[in-house]
Amino acid sequence: MSAWIAWYLANARELPWRKTLDPYAIWLSEIILQQTRVNQGLPYYYRFLERFPSILDLARADEDSVLRIWQGLGYYSRARNLMKTAKIIAFERNGIFPDTYEDLVKLPGLGPYTASAIASFAFNLPEAVIDGNAYRVLSRLYDIDEEIGSKKVYHSFRELAQNLMLGYSPSTFNQALMELGAVICTPKPLCQQCPIAENCLALQNKTIHLRPVKKKAKPKEKVEMYYVLPISNSGDWILQKRPAKGIWSGLYVFPEVEKSQFRFESAHFLHLKHLLSHKEMDLYFELREFESVEDYPDSQLITPENIEETPFPVPFLLALQHWKLL
């Protein structure tokens, strides 16, 4: 595997989390990059470290301020697990980050992948990191036709990578494997530029397009939801904070109404489509004036000076930008 490591050392992208051994910064980068592309995640990484430069700063932060920084990344359970883990490390472990895979994997939001990544990148421990990029490279290199997604197959890939890692720096090996999958061995691979193309069994067997083997995606549930944003003459907004569990948990949204209460003829009506991992959503938004908070149960009044600090889900941000309210 020296060829892909040599390629990595010569071609690796300049990324800030590769220039540190600080487990806090590495952990943060790994959580951000779950479900998020590098170019999208980079600004969040910088903003997060600027706002919360240490794990103690994060542990002391209130939920709204953390979610506000996270706003736009989606999958907000990641941010809440960051807060839970920060409190455990800051207040139960005296600020000392766990330095073994076994201790890391016990923390909220740290599954086998993230625990392996921190153990490898921060402490150079021989823990194979298996993400989508690693699956793609290894399944093509060895033309593996096992369907990925199960624990059994994960462990077989991890064992394969552990064996290949022997004799190399764990951190460099894992970074090189993941970089190869991110830059060369992509869903539409650049085989002519691949440093290990001559050893690739899937390339030889013409099964590149079939690897890795994935489960067929389930059809997304289609839903319609209707929201109104009531604004007073003085600029106060009525909003609802989502519960701790479920879609957009912990974020602020406009009051939801029944379809029959929605005014499709309004000049301030907006329709947006929004995709989640399991849902295809048609969202309808309306801007209207209000007189009483009591007209909107389970809602709260947000004054203009507090709006900038209020975290919203992406489609609600888009609606606010459409109405030029943010």
Catalytic (active-site) positions = 30
CB 163 within 8 A of CB 119: no
Show Cβ contacts of residue 201 under 8 Å, excluding neighbours closer than 6 positions: 140, 141, 142, 143
Closest CA to 131 of 193, 69, 181, 73: 181
Q: Is 9 exposed, middle or buried (0-12, 13-18, 19+ CB in 10 A)?
A: exposed
Q: Are strands 252-253 and 256-257 parallel, antiparallel or unpaired?
A: unpaired
257's tokens: 């109404």
Measured distance CA(129)–CA(136) in Å, rounded: 13
Q: Are 271 and 284 a contacting pair, CB within 8 Å?
A: yes
Amino acid at 26: I
Which position has the token pair 């992406």? 314
Exposure class string for 119-133: b at 16+ Cβ within 10 A, else e: bbbbbebbbbbbbeb
Q: CB–CB of 75/109 below 8 Å?
A: no
Strand partners, 279: 221
Euclidean distance between the first and the last CA atom of the chain, given in angstroms as a whole number: 51
Q: Which token pair is 268?
A: 């301030």
Reading phi first (left if > 0) and then psi (alpha if -120 to 50, else beta), residue 123 is in alpha
Structure tokens given for 137: 């490279």
DSSP state of 150: B
